[in-house]
Chains A and B, each alone.
Chain A
Amino acid sequence: DSGVTQTPKHLITATGQRVTLRCSPRSGDLSVYWYQQSLDQGLQFLIQYYNGEERAKGNILERFSAQQFPDLHSELNLSSLELGDSALYFCASSPVDWDEQFFGPGTRLTVL
């Protein structure tokens, strides 16, 4: 158990819908990262937050947004969902920027 929690574990929704994925980092970790893993695109880094501020951006679509709250948990919002958004979404946390990252179990999103 890495200490990073993600909810929900599974999510099934329809095209055009909006979903929110939640991540709670390990206690004391200030940095949160989001990754997407799909068959088409492989493993991709989406976005990083550090102590509430966006720090680095990867291949995150404009339909996707994220934030990190004062209690350091983070949410990834995916809107206008398409079939191609079906993927495993991982959250990770680290004490400081790009230090050793600890991953959550992932949220499997299925868009029908």
Chain B
Amino acid sequence: AQKVTQAQTEISVVEKEDVTLDCVYETRDTTYYLFWYKQPPSGELVFLIRRNSFDEQNEISGRYSWNFQKSTSSFNFTITASQVVDSAVYFCALQGGSEKLVFGKGMKLTVNP
């Protein structure tokens, strides 16, 4: 069975702090995809990234970076120099060979000025 665990349910930081959101997954599939989504207080969902299981290269997009480590089944997300606009609920998700997408429970990030 596939499972995504976001152990942190809520984090509060002060602006300009770096913050890492943890995501640990379980799957028996050798080919799978990992995702991060953002849901700001306004409620809409925003797709952030999709990575496949064969690509362990870290990815950086502006202040966002992702660290994929197959050895520890983790796909962590770091926000550098956090800003108030980063306040949101962040979801990690896994899609295995069955194509079904499984989400973690989400992690609420609050960035205080």
Contacts and interface: CB of A to CB of B under 8 A. Distances in A.
Tier of interface size on chain A: 20 to 34
Interface stretch (A11-19, A64-72, A100-108): A100-108
Contacts of B33: 98
Interface string A53-67: 001111100000000
Tell me what chain B mostly uses at the interface: helix, strand, loop, or mixed.
strand
A59 to B, nearest CB: 8
Contact of A43 (B47, B50, B103): B103
Contact of B45 (A48, A56, A92, A100): A92
A42 interface: yes
A56 B100 contact: yes
Interface in A32-66: 35, 42-45, 48, 55-59
Nearest to A46: B101
A90 B46 CA distance: 11
Contact of A103 (B44, B93, B95, B102): B44
Secondary structure dominating the interface of A = strand
A90 B43 CA distance: 10
Chain B contact patch, size range: 10 to 19
B101 A92 contact: no
B100 A43 contact: no
Contacts, number: 46
Given A98-B50, A98-B95, A100-B50, A45 B45 contact: no
Interface in B25-77: 33, 37, 43-47, 50
Contact of A44 (B37, B43, B103): B103
A105 B44 contact: yes
Contacts of A109: none
A90 B45 contact: yes
Interface of A: 2, 35, 42-45, 48, 55-59, 88, 90, 92, 98-103, 105-106
20 contacts: A2-B44, A35-B45, A42-B103, A42-B105, A43-B37, A43-B103, A43-B106, A45-B100, A57-B99, A58-B100, A58-B101, A90-B45, A92-B45, A98-B33, A98-B95, A101-B47, A103-B44, A103-B46, A106-B43, A106-B44
